[in-house]
Amino acid sequence: MTLAYVALGSNLGNPKQQVLDAMDALAKLPATCLLRHSPLYGTPPWGLLKQPRFVNAVAELDTLLSPHLLLDALLAIEQQAGRVRAERNGPRTLDLDVLHIEGVQLDDERLTLPHPRMAERAFVLLPLNDVAPALWLPGHGMVAELLGGLDLGGCERLLAP
């Protein structure tokens, strides 16, 4: 089994419920165990600023799935949630990203690990810090230290449902 970290986000429909439903779907993946997840966070949009706020979280998985099989499983969960890929950084019902897989560095046409832009994004590092503050991200650094260098303005921990 290998530790993997997945970012979850939504800002369309009922974003809180979309993220919670995605957590349930992650827990049901074959050859995978959902070990823990962060609290939910309300965060400002990234990229395209004229869109609703997001709900974000991070899940820690223990999985036997290869990086590409995990990616395929995440894309299937997104599709089941009604995800339409209309524009980059635009509004979405659900966004699931493989952030890091223990011991894996990868850069191909489908997947780059660790995720190349996560060290710049408070909406990723804030919930990742809740589940793995001491995680070392190759090419970036330790999660807790990276988070300390980001603007957390507009990010708020949401109450449990």
Rounded CA-CA distance 160/158 in Å is 6
Name the catalytic one among 72, 83, 121, 151.
83
Name the catalytic one among 21, 62, 92, 117.
92
Query: Quick one: how far is CA 20 from the chain centroid?
Result: 13
Could you confirm whether 108 is annotated as catalytic? no
Q: Which residues contact 108 (CB under 8 A, 6 or more apart)?
A: none
Name the catalytic one among 36, 53, 88, 97.
97
Could you confirm whether 95 is annotated as catalytic? yes
Could you confirm whether 97 is annotated as catalytic? yes
Tokens of 132: 């793995």
Could you confirm whether 121 is annotated as catalytic? no
Name the catalytic one among 24, 72, 95, 108.
95
Are 109 and 72 spatial neighbours (Cβ–Cβ below 8 Å)?
A: no
β partners of residue 128: none
Name the residue type at position 17.
Q
Beta strands in the chain (DSSP E): 2-10, 32-37, 41-43, 54-63, 95-101, 106-107, 112-113, 136-137, 141-142, 156-157
Query: So which residues are the catalytic ones?
Result: 83, 92, 95, 97
